[in-house]
Amino acid sequence: MNFEFSDDQKQLRDQARRFLAEKCPPKAVRAVLEGSAGYDKALWSGLAEMGFLGVAIPEEFGGTGAGHLELCVIAEEMGRALAPVPFSSTVYLAAEALMLAGSDAQKQKWLPKIASGEAVGALALFEGPGNPSPQAIKVAAANGVLNGVKKPVADGAIADFAIVAARVGSSGRETDIALYLVDLKAGGVEAKTLTNVDPSRNQAELTFKNCKAEPLGAANEGWSILTRVLDRAAVLMAFEQVGGADRALEMGRDYALDRIAFGRQIGSFQAIKHILADMYVAATLARSNCYYGAWALSTNAGELGEAAATARISATQAFQHCSKQNIQVHGGMGFTWEFDCHLYYRRSNALALSLGSLSYWEDQLIERMRKKNVA
Amino acid sequence: MNFDDTPQEAAFRAEARAWIAANAPKQYEDELAKASLGRLVLSGANVLDVAKAWQKKKADAGWACLHWPKEYGGRGSSPIERVIWQQEEGAFGKLSRMFIIGHGMCGPTMMAYASEEHKRNYLPPLASGEKVWCQLFSEPAGGSDVAGLRTRAERDGDDWVINGQKIWTSGAHYSDYGILITRTDPTVPKHKGLTMFFLDMKSPGVEIKPIKQANGQSEFNEVYFTDVRIPDSQRLGAVGDGWNVSLTTLMNERMSIGASVATGFPELFDYCNDLVIDGAPAIDDRAVRAKLANWAVKASGLKYTAFRSISALSRGERPGPENSIGKLVAGSMIQEVATYALDLQGAAGVVSDPAQAEVAGKFQAMLLRSPATRVEGGTDEILRNIIAERVLGLPGDIRVDKDVPFNKIPTKGRG
Ligand SMILES: Cc1cc2nc3c(=O)[nH]c(=O)nc-3n(C[C@H](O)[C@H](O)[C@H](O)COP(=O)(O)OP(=O)(O)OC[C@H]3O[C@@H](n4cnc5c(N)ncnc54)[C@H](O)[C@@H]3O)c2cc1C
Ligand SMILES: Cc1cc2nc3c(=O)[nH]c(=O)nc-3n(C[C@H](O)[C@H](O)[C@H](O)COP(=O)(O)OP(=O)(O)OC[C@H]3O[C@@H](n4cnc5c(N)ncnc54)[C@H](O)[C@@H]3O)c2cc1C
């Protein structure tokens, strides 16, 4: 047994951390938060040049082919830096869906463009309130065109293409849902940016009007492909969340050491020490669960479903907890626009809802554990 | 990143598995599997006898205290081999509970500070369970603040004479030896005047009085010392260096307790699979699932945190204060789990008679025993302080008694 990243992977982490410290300081996050670009284009190109967008994409499709453990390492750094780019939509969701279910032609067309930073992808799944469920999908596919509305679609207004979950039947079964690939620049789709709790990331409404779409994967397997894509993305997203949680903990710790009240460092009050200790506990449990997820993801283990849900729940809780308590430790300063605490608070709450919220993953986890128990 | 055995590890696992299959006390396997915090009963047998017999059998075949050197009764195994053994030993490992203090704390302290002759004499029978050891640290005046202890040791020729009282000493009533921390100099600040010894619990002047616990059982004791003589050769570490010696013990305590504390989750998960509420299994209820999921990820987080520590250990890194999180998380968790298991039973949750209660009263016993987990071996608050100070680097508490001679420190709160 070896439950640790390799030395090469740790070097990659250091490299990514240095790169992001330089190219993605809080100032860069704020530029997207307060602007209208939707993402940091220069950072996106830089990530492509570093090879970070294609670490898990095979060389024949323009990636570096390093693998998913390497992608986990980078995801964590993206989370730490709150990178304001469509990394999760493009890399965890669109690229994974293409690699899992795309035809050779589809992979040839889009994967190299993802790796080179030329194409931004998105997953169009949700249609208003609610968690992932076949019943909730109303966008209809017929005769090669889509009609209906998807919202929210993370990075929908800045994406070049989208993977869309659409209804092809009405039997009430999962097989009614198929996946489609849509070139968003080819017409038939209207994208509208939605104001959201974390404006450093784009959220959009996509309206499809007789929009041309090509099937992705077999027609009756849409939901099962989607479930597998969500599981894979959940592990990667969990690393992003753990990166954010760790940074929020560090910010709180540093402030507690610097700030004096009642003639003492506030970090000398047990009330503050215990808040920070509990943040450390949450972040540590989440990190360990993420490692379990990384192992399952990189080996395609049968445990992936359970491991992904575990990592996802644990990391969601940890990031929300740490970002919330970081504000508490900062007192009034934590509630200012000027301090960066709210950037982490916003991001933690936005990520908690992407890919399905906590209650969805809690249900998935126990369902999967129950099935294993029966088997 | 992998969970796979190397060829050597696989060979070790196969050997362990085969030996356990041929030698373990199978007749108790069922009852051991069902045992949980606060309840371990073996029908028609005394648990201590069964535990000692199994430990001796393991020792004779070289499977006791695997990570100890061979000459002291161990096997010289790697940390990973120790984990593999624990995985294979499964429910039979619960029989090791009464040896945890001896093997996990007293043994390592002896290994670090006793003379070679003492190590060769005392460690092998400790490893084999023939001799049981206890830890005599806490006193009425000092639990969290162990260094506030008042038991005196005074030099008299080649001996030390001990007078005072210890409390909360687990297993003192069936122990043969103990490690004992005493005050040898009350005129210097409290951490500086301490000295550590080991002693024979049958020594004249040692009196052991069981304490009835809140859950009705009696696992711990008061131990009184009246002019008990300990030869100077049984001193561990230098005179006045007892605090440093005790840190060795306490760090090992966190490792051995922290790595293996029960969370109650597997028991609750099984129970929710079996329990029927309003005609459907409890586990199909969304509210139940949400609760279970929250505990599932904590239990899993602890498991993989331990795996990370073991990986670090096998790379040669020392176990650090980060191991404090195991008991901190599991302690409140098992208490919450037990409370919830009773809640699921409705009014019937109040019944604790094993013959009448759900799953033989397992969760009721757990509920009543669980408060102790959050206190023994370092309270939740002390563990949080350790994480905050030693892991996160926050300032230590302001210590009003740090530089004061021990005999000038106030001894009463109000009045
Ligand atoms: C929305 C808002 C409106 C406000 N309106 C007003 C107003 O109208 N008028 C006004 O005068 N002020 C106002 N305030 C200021 C507010 O009263 C202070 O922010 C608050 O008292 C905390 O002080 P601080 O920000 O300096 O944080 P600090 O005192 O620096 O506290 C930082 C952290 O340390 C902790 N801490 C500090 N001392 C201790 C201690 N002894 N023991 C344990 N923990 C400790 C705190 O709980 C906090 O978690 C407002 C603040 C906000 C957020
Ligand atoms: C089942 C059981 C078995 C035990 N077995 C043994 C044994 O075998 N050998 C042995 O030596 N001891 C043993 N103990 C004793 C145990 O180590 C002590 O009970 C424990 O360290 C707490 O000390 P105390 O009981 O004196 O409580 P106190 O130290 O008086 O604590 C009371 C409360 O004050 C809090 N507190 C104290 N100091 C601080 C601080 N600095 N900051 C914040 N909060 C603080 C504590 O967290 C606690 O909530 C056992 C205890 C139990 C319950």
State both tokens at A85.
């780019």
Cis-peptide, bond into residue B231, ω within 30° of zero = no
Choose among B324, B333, B331: nearest CA to B305: B324
How far is Cα B304 from Cα A287, in angstroms, rounded to an integer?
9
Q: Which amino acid is at B379?
A: T
Name every chain A residue with its beta carbon within 8 A of the beta carbon of B385: 270, 273-274, 277
Measured from the CB, is residue A337 less than 6 Å from ligand 1? no
How far apart, in whole angstroms, are the C-alpha atoms of residue A45 and residue A87?
Answer: 12
pLDDT of residue A374: 81
Please tell me the class of the A7-91+104-118 domain: mainly alpha
Half-sphere exposure of B263 (CA within 13 A, CB side): 23
Q: Establish if B2 touches chain A: CB-CB under 8 angstroms.
A: yes
Query: Given the CA of residue B372, which atom of ligand 2 is nearest to it?
Result: 53
Shortest-distance Cα residue to atom 13 of ligand 2: B168
**Which residues of chain A lie closer than 8 angstroms to B4, CB-CB?**
1
Domain spans of chain A? 7-91+104-118, 122-221, 223-374
Q: For residue A299, is pLDDT > 60?
A: yes
Q: How many contacts, defined by CB atoms under 8 Å, are there between A and B? A: 157
- Three-state SS for B122-162 is HHHHHHCCCCCEEEECCECCECCCHHHCCCEEEEECCEEEE
d(CA B113, CA B108): 9
B159-198: burial string, b at 16+ Cβ within 10 Å, e else: bbbbbbbbbbbbbbbebbbbbbbbbbbeebbbbbbbbbbb
Contact A314 B297 (CB under 8 A): yes
B213 CB burial (10 A radius; 0-12, 13-18, 19+)? middle
Q: What is the SS3 assignment for B177?
A: strand
* Nearest residue to A249 via CA among A344, A358, A350: A344
Distance from CA of A251 to the nearest CA of B (A): 12
Fold type of domain A122-221:
Butyryl-CoA Dehydrogenase, subunit A; domain 2 (2.40.110)
Residues 6+ apart with CB under 8 A from B56: B128, B129, B130
Residues in chain A within 8 Å Cβ distance of B389: 273
Catalytic status, residue B253: yes
Q: Choose one of B132, B150, B168 to mutate for the ligand 2 pocket test, by most ligand atoms within 8 angstroms of C-beta.
A: B168
**C-beta atoms of A1 and B387 within 8 A:** no
Is a pLDDT exceeding 50 seen at residue B51?
Answer: yes
Compute the residue count for chain B. 415
| Residue A271 beta carbon below 6 angstroms from any ligand 1 atom | yes
Task: Give the three-class secondary structure for B4.
Answer: coil
Question: Ligand 1: which residue has its CA nearest to atom 18?
Answer: A332
Cβ distance B325 to A289 less than 8 Å, yes or no, reads no
Which residue from B minimizes the CA distance to A267? B394
- Mean pLDDT, chain A, integer: 97
Nearest residue of chain A to residue B399 (CA atoms): A268
Q: A10-19, A306-315, B256-265, B361-370: which has the minimum mean pLDDT?
A: B256-265
Instruction: Decide if A278 and B384 are in contact by the 8 Å CB cutoff.
Output: yes
Residues 6+ apart with CB under 8 A from B54: B24, B25, B92, B95, B129
H/E element, A260: strand A260-261
Q: Indicate the burial class of B142 (C-beta count within 10 angstroms; 0-12, 13-18, 19 or more).
A: middle
Q: What is the mean pLDDT of residues A336-354?
A: 98
* Residues B305-329 pLDDT 10s: 988 888 887 787 777 777 789 999 9
Q: Which ligand is nearest to the CA of A261?
A: 1
Angle ∠(A116,A122,A124) on CA atoms, nearest 5: 165
Under 8 Å between Cβ of A99 and A324: no
pLDDT for residue A121 is more than 80: yes
Ligand 2 atom showing the smallest separation from residue B397 Cα: 41
Q: Tell me the C-alpha distance between B132 and B52, whole Å.
A: 9
Q: Residue A266: CB within 6 Å of ligand 1? A: yes
pLDDT of residue B259: 56
Task: Tell me which of A278-282, A293-297, B278-282, B402-406 is least confident.
Answer: B402-406
Contacts of A310 in chain B (CB under 8 A): 296-297, 300
Element (H, E) at A83: none
B415 touching A (Cβ < 8 Å): no
Segment B68-116, tens digit of pLDDT = 999 999 999 988 888 899 889 999 999 998 999 999 999 999 999 999 9
Q: Determine which helix (DSSP H) or strand (DSSP E) holds B222, and give its type and residue range.
A: strand B220-231
The answer to whether the CB of A199 falls within 8 A of the CB of A32 is yes
Task: Write the residue in A1, A273, A313 that is nearest to B297 by C-beta.
Answer: A313
* Residue A332, ligand 1, Cβ within 6 A: yes
Residue A83 has pLDDT above 90, yes or no: yes
Crossing angle of helices B265-274 and B286-314, rounded to 10°: 150
What does the pLDDT read at residue B317? Answer: 79
pLDDT grade, residue B178 (50/70/90)? very high
Kindly determine whether residue B387 and residue A277, on different chains, have CB atoms separated by under 8 Å: yes
DSSP run (H or E) holding A148: strand A145-154
CB contact B365 to A (< 8 Å): no
- Distance in Å, CA A334 to ligand 1 centroid: 10
Average pLDDT over residues B115-141: 97
Share of chain A above pLDDT 70, in %: 100
How many angstroms separate the first and last alpha carbons of chain A? 26
User: Closest by alpha carbon to A148, among A128, A175, A131, A118?
Assistant: A128
Nearest to A288 among B83, B305, B395 (CB): B305
Q: Helix or strand or coil: residue A208?
A: strand
Q: Do A313 and B2 touch (CB under 8 A)?
A: no
- How many CB atoms within 10 Å of residue B325? 27
> Is the Cβ–Cβ distance between B320 and A336 less than 8 Å?
no
Query: For residue A315, which amino acid is it?
Result: A
A256 lines ligand 1 (CB under 6 A): no
Nearest to A288 among B5, B308, B395 (CB): B308
Contact in structure between B135 and B178 (CB atoms under 8 Å): yes
Q: Which domains does chain B have, with CATH numbers?
A: 7-127 (1.10.540.10), 133-253 (2.40.110.10), 257-378 (1.20.140.10)
Nearest C-alpha in B relative to A311: B297
Q: Flag if A280 and B83 touch (Cβ within 8 Å).
A: no
Residue of A272, A327, A342 to mutate, ligand 1, most atoms within 8 A of C-beta: A272
As given in the structure block, the two tokens for residue B68 are: 């100890």
Task: Read off the pLDDT of each residue in B129-149 and give the average, rounded to a whole number.
Answer: 95
Alpha-carbon dihedral sign for residues B102, B381, B335, B222? positive
The confidence band for B348, taking pLDDT boundaries of 50, 70 and 90, is very high
- For residue A221, is pLDDT > 80? yes
Q: Go through B244-260 and write b for each residue having 16 or more CB atoms within 10 A of its CB, e for each that does not.
A: ebbebbbbbbbbbbbbb
Q: Name residue B117's amino acid.
A: E
Contact between residue B388 and residue B396 where contact means Cβ atoms under 8 Å apart:
no
Is the pLDDT score of A35 beyond 90?
Answer: yes
Residues sharing a CB contact under 8 Å with residue B328, sequence separation 6 or more, in sequence order? A281, B380, B383, B384, B387
A272 lines ligand 1 (CB under 6 A): yes
Record the tokens describing residue B163, joined without a space.
């007078």
Q: How far is A58 from chain B (nearest CA, A)?
A: 20
Asked if domains A7-91+104-118 and A122-221 share a fold, the reply is: no
Q: What is the pLDDT of residue B41?
A: 86
- What's the DSSP call for residue A340? T
Which entry of B253, B336, B358, B376 is annotated as an active-site residue? B253
Per-residue pLDDT of B225-266, as tens digits, reads 999 999 999 999 999 999 999 988 777 765 654 456 899 999
Using a pLDDT cut of 90, give the percent of chain A over it. 98
C-alpha distances out from residue B140 to B107, B158, B185, B204, B249, Å: 25, 29, 19, 22, 20
Q: Which of B144, B394, B411 is the pocket-test mutation for ligand 2 (most atoms within 8 Å of CB)?
A: B144
Q: Domain A223-374 is of which CATH architecture?
A: Up-down Bundle (1.20)
Spatial separation of the C-alpha atoms in residues A286 and A246, rounded to whole Å: 10
Per-residue pLDDT, B5: 86
pLDDT of residue B78: 86
CA–centroid distance, A327 to ligand 1, in Å, is: 11
The two three-digit tokens of residue B216, written as one number: 């009705």
Query: How far apart are the C-alpha atoms of A250 and A222, rounded to whole Å?
Result: 42
Q: How far is CA B213 from the centre of its chain?
A: 17
Q: What pLDDT is recorded for position B415? A: 62
Instruction: Tell me what the mean pLDDT of segment B113-124 comes to.
Output: 98
Give residue B382's identity as a one-letter amino acid code: I
Mean pLDDT of the region A166-176: 95
Rounded Cα distance between A41 and A47, Å, is 10
Rounded-to-integer distance, Cα A209 and Cα B117, Å: 88
- List all residues of chain B from 82 to 121 with a beta carbon under 8 Å from chain A: 83
A344 Cβ contact partners less than 8 Å away, ≥ 6 residues apart: A82, A244, A247, A248, A251, A319, A322, A323, A326
Q: Which residue of A has its CA nearest to B9?
A: A1
Q: Tell me the pairing of strands A214-216 and A203-212.
A: unpaired
Proximal ligand: closest to the CA of B37: 2
pLDDT at B257: 47
Angle, CA B216 vertex, CA B213 and CA B218 arms, to 5°? 55
**What tokens does A62 get?**
């323009």
Q: B365 C-alpha to center of ligand 2: Å? A: 22
pLDDT at B195 over 80: yes
Contact criterion met (CB < 8 Å) for A363 and B293: yes
Q: Which two tokens stand for residue B406?
A: 């021990």
Q: Provide the pairing of β-strand A121-124 with A161-167.
A: parallel
